Amino acid sequence: MSTALAHTFPELRVQRVEVLGRGWDSTAYLVNGDLVFRMPNEAAAGADRVEVEKRNRAEVNLLEAVRGRLPVVTPEPACVAPDFGFFGYRYLPGAVLDGRDDLLAAPTARRRVVERWVGLVTTLAQIVPAERARALGLEPFARVRHRLDLVRNARAGGVFPPEIDRLATRVLEEYAERYHRAAESGLVTLHGDLGLSHWLVDEQDEPYAVIDWSDACLAPVEHEISNLYWTNTYARALVREAVDEYERRTDTAVDRQLVELGFAANGLGDIGLLVRRDPNDPDVHKVVARLRNLNVASAVPAHAIAEIRSSRPPRGMATRIVAVDGPGGAGKTSLSERLADELHAQIVHTDDFASWENPTDWWPALIEQVLEPLAAGSAARYVPTTWGGPDRDEVTVEPGEFVILDGVTASREAFRPYLAYSIWVETPRDVRLRRGLERDGEHMRPRWEEWMAAEDRYVEREHPAERADLVLPGDRDLRSARNSRTWFG
């Protein structure tokens, strides 16, 4: 590294080199505490040096074109190799936004992130229209077929567990068609990998800069939104809010299924790459866990949406409250967020009232603060429990046409006078426990076992599945769902 820099930039006196981070095909180095150089890894550089140089040239051109014109700070190329084999830019201080659950948990802070994210996407498309982007050297995203080939190869190798294999089937059947349909409607200039791992926050925890523009391309906006799924805990909330904000600002409909399929294709393709390099790579299990936890295997069954839309609210109520009940780790929240997208509804999470110490007996507060106000046509307001974390902001739920009540015991007897429709999500115990431990860590096993025991008591006492309007499987394709009357005979 030092030799390459000294040879290319004789005026640069290299005194200290530190590794900032490693990616799929490059490593970022901090030189003299002031300059950042992203150097291609040996395998990537040797595979196609011409392609590396072409991408670097396009990235430098784009960064020069947007300097000072975006609502965020961007890298400013300072040392560019004559052949564009690599380049450096002034170091931008700050912490990476990804993993900052303390920030993303607060609705107001998450809203600021979403507004900044959408502001960047829309402004970039405005100041660098497609024709200008082509002139700078950017090209249309061209890895759809490559992603699908990786998925097919990984699937043929038998590396996917059953539920991920079903997801792979859906990706192979639908992703390319949806992507090309969206591309025909128009391409926009994108960062190309705008997950939160490329956002920096300042000392006040405000997102202020975006780094690593090496994947900049022309593609449908769904391609960019799908990168938000690589966030951990609050991925679905970020995606849903980003889609809503983008549609509001641009008056353009977003294909939400393509957003999910794009993330799934990316993740499944990553598994294919990892397995090709090392079948025992531990990162394979990390990617599988993300795909599993997000439960993007299929859309909500059309008949379920139709039934909910035809349901009637209880007498005297205008808002139809839809309960999504089931044990922890069953897949309720993933389903609730899908329903919220379909019905344009807000979600109330029972976890905002529960805690490890009180998993099921918090219900009077939810009736008083949420169900009774909504029944009266008023906004509901409550402050979520902290689960041992920092204090959280007050949540306001407006009495819209639909509200989703998501979580353990959401369809309990005490709530039923307020419900228009209820769903029970049925998932095997071992799958639920595995999901919980993948999310929270093995050290939480005693907590999970206590929680599951409390859930068992609720199920034995109230038999919620037998009273549900619909029972859905949380461990397989939702399109195999059956009506509860058929399932329970």
Q: pLDDT tens digits, residue range 301-335?
A: 778 888 999 999 999 999 999 999 998 888 887 78
Q: How confident is the model at residue 439 (pLDDT cuts 50, 70, 90)?
A: low
Give the Cα separation of 470 and 456 in Å (integer): 20
The predicted-structure confidence for 161-220, as pLDDT tens digits, reads as follows 777 887 888 888 889 999 999 999 999 999 999 999 999 999 988 999 999 999 999 999
Residue 81: how many CB atoms within 10 A of its CB?
17
Query: Is residue 199 exposed (0-12), middle (13-18) or buried (19+ Cβ within 10 Å)?
Result: buried
Tell me what pLDDT residue 295 has.
53
Adjacent-strand bridge partners of 247: none
CA dihedral 76, 138, 267, 293 (to 10 degrees): 60
Residues 409-429 have a mean pLDDT of 93
User: Could you identify the residue written with the tokens 């309960």?
Assistant: 323
Give the Cα separation of 254 and 241 in Å (integer): 12
CATH topology of domain 302-487: Rossmann fold (3.40.50)
Tell me what pLDDT residue 116 has.
95
Q: How confident is the model at residue 485 (pLDDT cuts 50, 70, 90)?
A: very low
Of 88-97, 124-133, 295-304, 322-331, the poorest mean pLDDT is in 295-304
CATH class of the 95-294 domain in this structure: alpha beta
Tell me what pLDDT residue 382 has.
94
Contacts with 14 (C-beta within 8 Å, 6 or more apart), sequence order? 2, 5, 6, 31, 32
For 2-90, the fitting CATH number among 2.70.70.10, 3.30.200.20, 3.40.50.300, 3.30.2350.10 is 3.30.200.20
Domains of the chain: which residue ranges? 2-90, 95-294, 302-487
Res. 484: pLDDT tops 60 = no
- Maximum mean pLDDT: which of 59-68, 105-114, 475-484: 59-68
Res. 274: pLDDT tops 50 = yes
The predicted-structure confidence for 293-304, as pLDDT tens digits, reads as follows 555 444 567 788
User: Could you identify the residue written with the tokens 């009637």?
Assistant: 312
| pTM higher than 0.85 | no
